[in-house]
Structures are given as structure tokens and as C-alpha cells.
């Protein structure tokens, strides 16, 4: 599965909060068309790194390059505009909007988002809107949410919300997705379904994924490449089987105390 060039590269990222340095020089690359996992014990700075890449936080130092563009310090919507979409640790749907509408928000640069078209030239965006509806319905169908399309998103079950997050991200036509613990708190059947969706999106649509994940079995099954963070630094990189041999990684996990999540499952 050795593939092409890096789509995302993170260099010497640093970020501290009120004197506590959460990220201290994290550095890694994500290859185009890969599913890369970002793992590490609690407090390793995984979520902070995700927030730094996605623009939710500004790094104190370091660079983030995405598809050759320096996106360091971009605002979140600008990062998304370049085709890099992230999901959140806890599913955060738009609760009082329908499932279909949740998807309809996603497409970037909609004609009907311009004030003048919205108020005075509805004909301008009608056909585009129709295409989006068709596309959204096809995506909902793929994710098994078609029957729920006119339900309020807040009425979905926890697992369905997870699927909706992914479906909503796909609707945005991203080049790359960052998933922050997409498998947290869902049952094993659904975990494997989400894993299948990821593999399908990678194969059929050429998506790249960066996934923060605790469950090492999932990582082993789905991911091509693994980046291990500890105390805000990149500790090691490689395939899962390579990392299992790495004493340093194992000890970081044992001291971090969350390797259990991987051995159960």
C-alpha cells in the first residue's frame, strides 16, 4: 500500500495554554490516499493537534501544509474551504434541522449563500439545489439513513448520529477527512460498519483520512499508517505491527495507561 506524496504535513507544531505546553514539536505526514491513525495516551495532545491543523486553535510555532499550501493560522472555514474537513469528538449534529438538511448545509460555496441570489434571484440556485438534494439522498442511502431523512437530527440514536457525521462530511466533497474518535461509544457492529465506509471512501473516492482513535484493534484493521504522540511530541511512526515491536511505544502506552482499550475489543 505504499502510496504517492504527502497530502498533509505537520512540522514542529507547538502550543501552550497558560504556561502548560500541550504540543511541543509534533511532526508527521499523512500520505495521499492513506488512512492514518493518530494515537497516544490521554493528554498526549492529539485533540490539540487536530484543532491546530483544522484552524480551531492557532499554533505558537510550526507549520501545517495541506496539498502544498501553507494553511498555518487559517481560520477553520478557510481550512475547510481547501477540502480538509474535520469531525468532532462528540457527535455534533445540527439538532433542530432534519437529517437531509444537515447534509444540505455541507456543500462548499453554494450559489444560494450569496445574499443577492438568496433574496432576489432564486432561479439562480434552484438547479444547483436540486443536484444537492439528489446527491444528499444518494449519500443518505449509502449510509442507511434514507428512511430518517425527514427526522430531526436530535432524534437519531447515538450510532445514527455517528453515521450522520460521516455522511455530512462526505457531502462536502472533501479531499481529506480528520475524524476525532469516530468510534467512541458505539457498538462493535457499527464500528465495523464505519470502518467499511472509510475503506470504501478511500478506494472509490480517493479520500485520505487522519483518525484519532483509542481502539488499537480498529487501528490495526483500518489504518495503513500510525503516528504515535506522547507529551506533545511525535514518538514513533509506522504500521501497527511495526509499532508493536517498539519498546518505547509500548512503555509510553503502559505508563499512559490506556493500552487496555486495544487488547480488549
Partner 1 sequence: MHLFLLTLGFGIVTAAVLSLASVGLSLQFGVTNYVNFAYGAYLAVGMYMTYTCMTAFHLPFLIGAVIGILTAGIVAVIVDILVLERFVKRGTSGFFLLIVTFGLQLILLNLAQAIWGVGFDRYPIAQGKPLTIGPFSVTVAQLEVVGVAIIALVAVHLLLTKSRLGKAMRAMSDNKMLAQASGIDINATTLWTWFFTGCLAGLGGIALALNTVEFQVFTGNSFLFVIFAAVILGGIGKIYGAMLGALIIGLVVGLSSLVISSAYNVDVAFAVLVIVLLIRPQGIFAIAGKA
Partner 2 sequence: MAILIGYLATLGVYFCIYNIFAIGLNIQFGYAGILDFTVITFMAIGAYMAGVGSLGPAQPGTEIYYILGLSLPWPLALILGAVSAGVLGYLIGLIALRRLRSDYLAIVTLAAGSIIYGLVGNNTKIFDGYEGLVGVPQPFNGVLNLSPNTYDLVFMIFAAVIMLLLWVLANRLYKSPLGRAMRATREDLDVAEAFGKNTYRIRMMAMVIGAVFVGIGGVLTIWFITALAPAGWGTSETFVVWAALIVGGMGNNKGAVIGSFLVAVLFNEATRFLPSINGLPSLIPEIRNICIGALVILTLRFRPQGVFPERKAKFFELPLTGRGREREHEVVVTGAEE
Residues that bind partner 1 (CB under 8 A): 17-18, 57
Q: Which does 73 bind (CB under 5 to 8 A by kind): partner 1, partner 2, none?
A: none
Contact call for residues 217 and 265 (beta carbons, < 8 A): yes
CB of 69 vs partner 2, minimal distance in Å: 15
Using the rule CB under 8 A, is 238 a contact of partner 2?
no
Residue closer to partner 1 by CB (options 17, 114) is: 17
Q: Are strands 6-17 and 20-31 parallel, antiparallel or unpaired?
A: antiparallel
Residue 129 is a binding residue for partner 2 (CB under 8 A): yes
Binds 134: which of partner 1, partner 2, none (CB < 5-8 Å by kind)? partner 2
Distance CA 142, CA 3 (A): 27
User: Judging by beta carbons within 10 Å of its beta carbon (0-12, 13-18, 19+), is residue 77 exposed, middle or buried?
Assistant: exposed
Pick the piece of the chain touching partner 2 (CB under 8 A) from 11-19, 130-138, 211-219, 235-243.
Answer: 130-138
Euclidean distance between CA atoms 49 and 25, whole angstroms: 10
Distance CA 39, CA 250 (A): 12
85-124 mask for partner 2 (x: CB under 8 A)?
xxxx---xxxxxxx-xx--xxx-xxxxxxxx-xxx--x--
Q: Is the dihedral of CA 175, 181, 192, 39 positive or negative?
A: positive
List the single partner that 17 binds among partner 2, partner 1, none, CB under 5 to 8 Å by kind: partner 1
Sheet of 84-86, strands arranged across: 84-86, 176-180, 208-212, 35-39, 225-230, 233-238
Q: Where do contacts with partner 2 occur on this chain (CB under 8 A)?
A: 54, 56, 75-77, 80-81, 85-88, 92-98, 100-101, 104-106, 108-115, 117-119, 122, 125, 129-130, 133-134, 137-138, 141, 144-147, 150, 152, 157, 159-160, 168, 172, 187, 189-190, 193
Amino acid at each position: 500500500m505504499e502510496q504517492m506524496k504527502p497530502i498533509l504535513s505537520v512540522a514542529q507544531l507547538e502550543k501552550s495554554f497558560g504556561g502548560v505546553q500541550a504540543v511541543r514539536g509534533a511532526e508527521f505526514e499523512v500520505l495521499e490516499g492513506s488512512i492514518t491513525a493518530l494515537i497516544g495516551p490521554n493528554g498526549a495532545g492529539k485533540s490539540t493537534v487536530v484543532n491546530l491543523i483544522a484552524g480551531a486553535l492557532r499554533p505558537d510555532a510550526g507549520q501545517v501544509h495541506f496539498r502544498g499550501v501553507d494553511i498555518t493560522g487559517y481560520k477553520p472555514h478557510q481550512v475547510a474551504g481547501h477540502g480538509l474537513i474535520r469531525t468532532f469528538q462528540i457527535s455534533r449534529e445540527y439538532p433542530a434541522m432534519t437529517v437531509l438538511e444537515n447534509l444540505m448545509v455541507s456543500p462548499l460555496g453554494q450559489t444560494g449563500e450569496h445574499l443577492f441570489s438568496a433574496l432576489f434571484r432564486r432561479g439562480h440556485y434552484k438547479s444547483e439545489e436540486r443536484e444537492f438534494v439528489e446527491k444528499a439522498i444518494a449519500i443518505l442511502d449509502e449510509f442507511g439513513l434514507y428512511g430518517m431523512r425527514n427526522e430531526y437530527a436530535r432524534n437519531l440514536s447515538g450510532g445514527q448520529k455517528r453515521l450522520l457525521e460521516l455522511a455530512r462530511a462526505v457531502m462536502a466533497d472533501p479531499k481529506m477527512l480528520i475524524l476525532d474518535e469516530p468510534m467512541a461509544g458505539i457498538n462493535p457492529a457499527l464500528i465495523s460498519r464505519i470502518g467499511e465506509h472509510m475503506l470504501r471512501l478511500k478506494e472509490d473516492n480517493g479520500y485520505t483520512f487522519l483518525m484519532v482513535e483509542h481502539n488499537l484493534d480498529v487501528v490495526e484493521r483500518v489504518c495503513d499508517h500510525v503516528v504515535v504522540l506522547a507529551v506533545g511530541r511525535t514518538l514513533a511512526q509506522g504500521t501497527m505491527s511495526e509499532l508493536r515491536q517498539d519498546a518505547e511505544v509500548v512503555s509510553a502506552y503502559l505508563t499512559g495507561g490506556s493500552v487496555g482499550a486495544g487488547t480488549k475489543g
